[in-house]
Amino acid sequence: MTTPDVELVPPSLLTDAAARAQKHLDGVASRSVAPTDEALAGLAHFDGPLPAEGTSPADVLAELDAHGSPATMLSNGGRFFGFVNGGTLPAALAANWLATAWDQNAALSVMSPVAAKLDEVAVRWLVELFGFDAGVGGGLVTGATGANIAGLAAARHRLLADVGWDVDADGLFGAPPVTVIVGGEVHPSLQKSLGILGFGRRRVVSVPADDQGRMLAEHFPNKLDGPTIVCLQAGNVNSGASDPFAEIIPAAQQQGAWVHIDGAFGLWALTATARAHLVAGVEHADSWATDAHKWLNTPYDCGVVLTRHPDDLAAAMSMTASYLASDGGREPIDYTSEMSRRARGVEVWAALRQLGRAGVDELIEGCCRHATNLAEGLAAGGFDVLNDVVLNQVVVASGDTAAMAATVDRIQSGTECWAGPTTWQGRPALRLSVSSWATTDRDIERAVAAIVEARG
């Protein structure tokens, strides 16, 4: 064996990192879900100025572990119910480490054959998993926000090309108007995407939603005029409810509209045999935004844009330069707004390889079952359950604004579990999302007991 001139990594550094990570994960069961006040105060350690001199990698790691690890939110455990933050599957976590050691730039196949291959396989497997038509393609992006931007950019390209306008070359100024239809309970990230793309956050037709946040099909415009993008939602971020796809999508498409789905987590209902009916018809849309880092439980940041018109996505996203050689095959760079990028396909591949189709079904169904048990336990403990618990989302309330705020405060400053506040149908509430493979029946029992005790 030849001795290398440069040691790429000190022999014990990665094993040290692994040991520290293992210790952190082993501590999840016994540590408080949110960091303690002492741990938060410890973050002041990082407030110092830029160091003049360097530090050994081992010391950098030790310092990070000492002051950073205690100040983490234990969202990878089974009793974190905030936002829609999934845990991380073991295979996805380990694959992420290995891929980081590979240090691959997943922009082009010539930069990383393995990253390009797994990017392609990950997208293909997701298309199969969701049961979409074989021609559906897309890319891996930073999250559902990035996926909404990408899907809507593809829509913008296609609809304006159809009326003779090259938006990618000539921009939106002077372009024929495009009507954008959203639901009354549209997610703010979709509104932000509309703003970024020049459609305007406010320049939309908003269709009223029902008490679960579903677009009311009877209020959907009967006649669509000119280029139109219809933005529907799979999985309201509070209630988990989905728009009536089977009623709206065919009618909109018959009139030439492009239907885009924001399905950050709700699209995953498709993968669970017993839940797929909740999103029936969603497979007929033109584009879909979803996340792997939410319900597939990959590490952040990992979103997915899929479309049945991949050429339109590529028209909006691709670029050419003489130094960016392609062998003519699929290039990850052609389907996302980024150029240099991490090899997200590795984690998606690893998660799907670990679970298989059956394991994904179990993950999604298990979270939904836990959500039902959580809602039943909280109802028995005196809370009003405000949503129809059909998926993984639970919204509960008890008492007036002040009482609800005090309850949320007691939950968040307790050690047992973590959930955040929301306002649902005008009522201050607690929202809980069960999105991690790691949640067990025992976790739900413990969370119910803690939340009921915290009720004001």
Report the interface residues with ligand PLP, using CB under 6 A: 84, 143-145, 187, 189, 233, 235, 237, 262, 264-265, 291, 303
Q: Which is nearer to ligand PLP, 108 or 430 (CB)?
A: 430
Alpha helices in 333-440 (DSSP H): 344-380, 401-413
**Orientation angle between helical segments 90-102 and 344-380, nearest 10 degrees:** 150
Q: Least separation, in Å, of the C-beta of 384 and ligand PLP?
A: 23
Q: Which is nearer to ligand PLP, 195 or 399 (CB)?
A: 195
Taking Cα atoms as reference points, which of 75, 122, 98 lies closest to residue 344? 122
Alpha helices in 226-324 (DSSP H): 245-254, 310-317
Q: Which is nearer to ligand PLP, 118 or 292 (CB)?
A: 292
Q: Least separation, in Å, of the C-beta of 82 and ligand PLP?
A: 12
Q: Least separation, in Å, of the C-beta of 108 and ligand PLP?
A: 25
Taking Cα atoms as reference points, which of 5, 18, 2 lies closest to residue 98? 18
Q: Least separation, in Å, of the C-beta of 417 and ligand PLP?
A: 20
Question: How many Å apart are CA 210 and CA 223, to the nearest integer?
Answer: 21
Q: Least separation, in Å, of the C-beta of 435 and ligand PLP?
A: 10
Q: Which is nearer to ligand PLP, 240 or 332 (CB)?
A: 240
Q: C-alpha distances in angstroms, 350 versus 111, 126, 210?
A: 21, 12, 39
Q: Least separation, in Å, of the C-beta of 145 and ligand PLP?
A: 3
DSSP label at 80? B
Cis peptide before 119 (omega within 30 of 0): no
- The beta-carbon contacts of 375-380 under 8 Å, at least 24 apart in sequence, are 377/444, 377/445, 377/448, 377/452, 378/448, 378/451, 378/452
Q: Least separation, in Å, of the C-beta of 298 and ligand PLP?
A: 11
CB-nearest residue to ligand PLP: 143
Q: Which is nearer to ligand PLP, 144 or 315 (CB)?
A: 144
Q: Least separation, in Å, of the C-beta of 236 and ligand PLP?
A: 7
Q: Least separation, in Å, of the C-beta of 289 and ligand PLP?
A: 7
Q: Which is nearer to ligand PLP, 236 or 398 (CB)?
A: 236
With 0-12 / 13-18 / 19 or more C-beta atoms within 10 angstroms meaning exposed / middle / buried, residue 72 is middle
Q: Least separation, in Å, of the C-beta of 178 and ligand PLP?
A: 21
Q: Which is nearer to ligand PLP, 112 or 238 (CB)?
A: 238
SS3 letters across 152-182: HHHHHHHHHHHCCCCHHHHCCCCCCCCEEEE
Taking Cα atoms as reference points, which of 185, 213, 182 lies closest to residue 387? 213
Q: Least separation, in Å, of the C-beta of 286 and ligand PLP?
A: 17
Under 8 Å between Cβ of 397 and 323: no
Q: Least separation, in Å, of the C-beta of 249 and ligand PLP?
A: 17
Which run of H or of E encompasses 93? Answer: helix 90-102
Q: Which is nearer to ligand PLP, 264 or 451 (CB)?
A: 264
Our CA angle for 161, 165, 168, nearest 5°, is 80
Q: Which is nearer to ligand PLP, 326 or 423 (CB)?
A: 423
Q: Which is nearer to ligand PLP, 165 or 199 (CB)?
A: 199
Q: Which is nearer to ligand PLP, 65 or 301 (CB)?
A: 301
Taking Cα atoms as reference points, which of 244, 239, 295, 286 lies closest to residue 267? 295
CA 403, distance to chain mean position in Å, is 31
Under 8 Å between Cβ of 147 and 375: no
How is 7-28 classified by DSSP, letter by letter? -SS-TTHHHHHHHHHHHHHHTT
Question: How many Å apart are CA 248 and CA 397, to the nearest integer?
Answer: 32
Q: Which is nearer to ligand PLP, 84 or 313 (CB)?
A: 84
Considering only CA atoms, give the Rg of the chain: 23
